[in-house]
Amino acid sequence: MTPEQYVQDKAAASGSSFYYAFMFLPPPRRAAITAFYAFCREVDDVVDEVTDAHVAQTKLLWWRKEVAQAYAGQAAHPVMLALMPHAATYGVTQDHLQAVIDGCQMDLEQTRYLDFAGLQKYCHLVAGVVGEVASGIFGRTEAATVQYAHKLGQALQLTNIIRDVGDDARRGRIYLPVSELQQFDVKAHEILNRGYSDRFTALMRFQAERAHRCYDEALALLPEADRRSQKPGLMMANIYRTLLREIEAADFQVLHQRIALTPLRKLWIAWRTHWRGG
């Protein structure tokens, strides 16, 4: 299996909404973003799939060394072999990749966030930096597009957090800020035990409203000159915002199930966004 086949299989197997947005890119940009996305999946899987924290730490340390070696011309992993031919062309730096690993490191060291400011730091590493890299691969020409990409990455991550409250709780993690749990009088053990209440619904409605604001703020930051090139990001925004509305319509029943859009619906939203231009 070639490195290119490896990253393609990794991206396709994830079933992520990102995969559907990549389909509309020209081949060189599609190859670059697929390799970068596969890298993000690899390091994220270390945290999500390795139950022994010491083993996970060791694996992340290996990835840190692999990234450094790849930028020194000695890539070994198929993901890095697929990514490195595109790194210089699209401005993917070693600092970008190490920041993504830093975000995954936070998952190993922290299972609660005291306030939204703390959560924002995490979102910056695992989503804002990813948005910055992606916008460069898509083809940005305006400096303001970086701010758009960071804000959109945050909106996507906040949507993920809302969708995955139940799944994350089963891994012992609660990303909803402690200060906001206290504000709505929701106890951590209620979430861990899948306990629904009017208080929980109010808390989740508060989270959803903030995510919607992030989408609105991101779209307002996108320069018109880059709107066409950034269509893959707009596809992801439309897919994820549709998912957020589905979660709202289901009254935030996310503790016992993972609400998702069908692959066909994701593809339809991506296609519609492509032809409408946003």
Give the least confident one: 13-17, 49-53, 217-221.
13-17
Return the structure tokens found at 2.
């070639």
Question: Residues 58, 177: one domain?
Answer: no
Per-residue confidence (pLDDT) for residue 13, from 0 to 100? 79
Question: Residues 18, 30: one domain?
Answer: yes
238 vs 255: CA distance, rounded Å: 24
**Residue 69 or 274, more confident:** 69
Neighbours of 166 (CB within 10 A): 17
**Residue 207 or 54, more confident:** 207
Neighbours of 231 (CB within 10 A): 22
Sorting pLDDT into bands at 50, 70 and 90, what band is 73?
A: very high
Question: Residues 130, 174: one domain?
Answer: yes
List Cα–Cα distances, 94 to 34, 109, 186, in angstroms: 17, 22, 40
Give, rounded to a whole angstrom, the gap between the first and last alpha carbons of the chain.
Answer: 36
Question: Residues 145, 102: one domain?
Answer: no
Q: Are residues 42 and 151 in contact, defined by beta-carbon separation less than 8 angstroms?
A: no
DSSP structural state of residue 111 = S
Total domain count, the chain: 2
Q: What is the mean pLDDT of residues 266-270?
A: 92
Return the structure tokens found at 187.
């106890």
Question: Residues 124, 227: one domain?
Answer: yes
Per-residue confidence (pLDDT) for residue 27, from 0 to 100? 93
Per-residue confidence (pLDDT) for residue 52, from 0 to 100? 84
Give residue-wise pLDDT tens across range 137-194. 999 999 999 999 999 999 999 999 999 999 999 988 999 999 999 999 999 999 999 9
Question: Residues 233, 146: one domain?
Answer: yes
Q: Which residue among 109, 144, 167 closes a domain? A: 109
Question: Residues 102, 115: one domain?
Answer: no
Q: What is the mean pLDDT of residues 90-95?
A: 96
Per-residue confidence (pLDDT) for residue 20, from 0 to 100? 79
268 vs 271: CA distance, rounded Å: 5
Question: Residues 51, 189: one domain?
Answer: no
Name the region of 113 (left: φ>0; alpha: ψ -120 to 50; beta: rest): beta
Q: Which residue among 109, 133, 157 closes a domain? A: 109
Question: Residues 103, 140: one domain?
Answer: no
Question: Residues 41, 148: one domain?
Answer: no
Sorting pLDDT into bands at 50, 70 and 90, what band is 277?
A: low
User: Comparing C-alpha atoms, which of 160, 154, 153, 172 is closest to residue 259?
Assistant: 160
Question: Residues 53, 190: one domain?
Answer: no
Q: Are residues 255 and 169 in contact, defined by beta-carbon separation less than 8 angstroms?
A: yes
Q: Dihedral (C-alpha) 123, 116, 222, 153: value to the nearest 10 degrees? A: 20
Return the structure tokens found at 73.
């011309």
Q: Which residue among 82, 109, 136 closes a domain? A: 109
For residue 50, pLDDT over 90 is answered with no
By residue range, what is the domain housing residue 74?
Answer: 1-109
Q: Are residues 228 and 178 in contact, defined by beta-carbon separation less than 8 angstroms?
A: no
Q: What is the CATH number of the domain that holds 92?
A: 1.10.600.10
